[in-house]
Structure 1
Amino acid sequence: MTALSINLNKIALIRNSRVTAIPNIVDHAKMCVSAGADGITVHPRPDQRHIRAQDCFDLQSALDVELNIEGNPFTEPRASDQSHVGDYPGFVALVQAVGPAQVTLVPDNDQQLTSDHGFDLAKDGKRLEPVVRVLKDIGCRVSLFMDPEPSAMATAANLGADRIELYTESYARAHESGNFEKTLCAFQETAEAAFAARLGVNAGHDLNLINLPDFTIPHLDEVSIGHAFTVDALRWGIANTIPRYQQALGKNL
């Protein structure tokens, strides 16, 4: 069955709107797990606009489910400009220190409001390969954030990746229009190509309770959902929202 990993970035964004520890990230992660989440995802950016480096350590030590840390593997250390926030150690150094079960490499930067494209492996493959090796050597499962391009899956596998995470915004937009079959087909073909290359398949970005039941792609190991989950949790509460997402994945609770 497809695992549900909850992204806590938006919970952290609320906390960071003030100099406070409320809402507490670990407490909310535990509430998600108690309600049935299979894992927790965080995406600490160098500007620490939402999830901070320290949150990653706190979550890893407190949780008994998989922690997935997302980020750009090429980001360097950065001093914090806030006295109450620790420095950002650089993405690879952070992952090495925390040791999460999974790390998802994403080609984002500070100017992006959110992740908005997958890796171009023709351009970034040679830089990614040694990073993938370093992260696998410390025991992390390594996933690459990718657009739905079947031809790129063999290359991702050759770089040493264990999984790919399909960037699903194009599917979400097509679903909103009511004409998503052609777009979905591209994701299905990419998932088949990934499976053929012995890659696991994750997916995430703008998946929600409306479009998730129609996201019928084969070999789907995990979905990561944060923004829509947070909005729904404000309406129904965490304890009622997690089961709705698990049911949208086809699980009988």
Structure 2
Amino acid sequence: MIPSRLWALAALVALAVLGAYASALVLLHFAQPVPVALLAGALLAGAVAVPVGWFSTRATGIYFAMLTLAFAQFLYTVAYKWRDLTGGSDGIAGVPKTALFWGGPSLTSPHAFYFVVATCVVVSLFVCHAVVRSPFGRALQAIRENERRFTSLGRDPRPFKLVVFVIAAAFAGLAGALFAPFRGFASPEVMFWVFSGQGLMMVIMGGIGTLVGPILGAMLFILIQEVLSSYTEHWMIFTGVVFVLIVIFLPGGLVGTARRLGARA
């Protein structure tokens, strides 16, 4: 189950870029407030995830990996070739930070946009926590622990997988919708496998199967990037070393290690 979830990151990164394009088009051509653009990105990514998830959840193992990677490559090709809509390899530049609401001040200040992102993170964590604590979340945990036993009880795991994939896609679309106004552009290059790999590293470094782990992993990854990139252009090598050390000496990531230390105390 864990390898399948990790391979799904490739599709989720592609859906995040889809959310970025939706946000960029809404902000650039319709001059709507940022929340409208965020909603458009999340809804579009979630809607596209329905057919993709329907096919993907009917495959397992290497076939699931092939389907998700093929979908990510398909979206990359569409974004690269459909120049009239996506700008092709150049992407969509000049994405503005519009107002938080109609007639309000624009979010050009980094501090103002920071609070928008922080609010989205807090709301996302609250929703994820509610899902995990619900009967649906407990069913997902049962599937993760032993899918065969779950099936032997007469339950079909595929609808559960589809729903959680769509939820994850909506969050990915929201992240992409935030990325477009923050960076001022949306480009198909963000779908490149390197970004999927970076997301995978963040999740593993923080702790798989936890809510806070990916956030801590992302903070550690960005901290290493910001500090080391000012000294050398080969900062990814040192990041890889830190990643390998965490995998070997801190199995379960930062959160898993903290839990084990807390249990011993």
Q: TM-score band, normalised by the shorter chain?
A: under 0.3
TM-score by length of 2: 0.27
Greater relative contact order structure (CA < 8 Å, 6+ sep): 2
Higher strand share: 1
Higher helix share: 2
Which structure has the bigger radius of gyration? 2
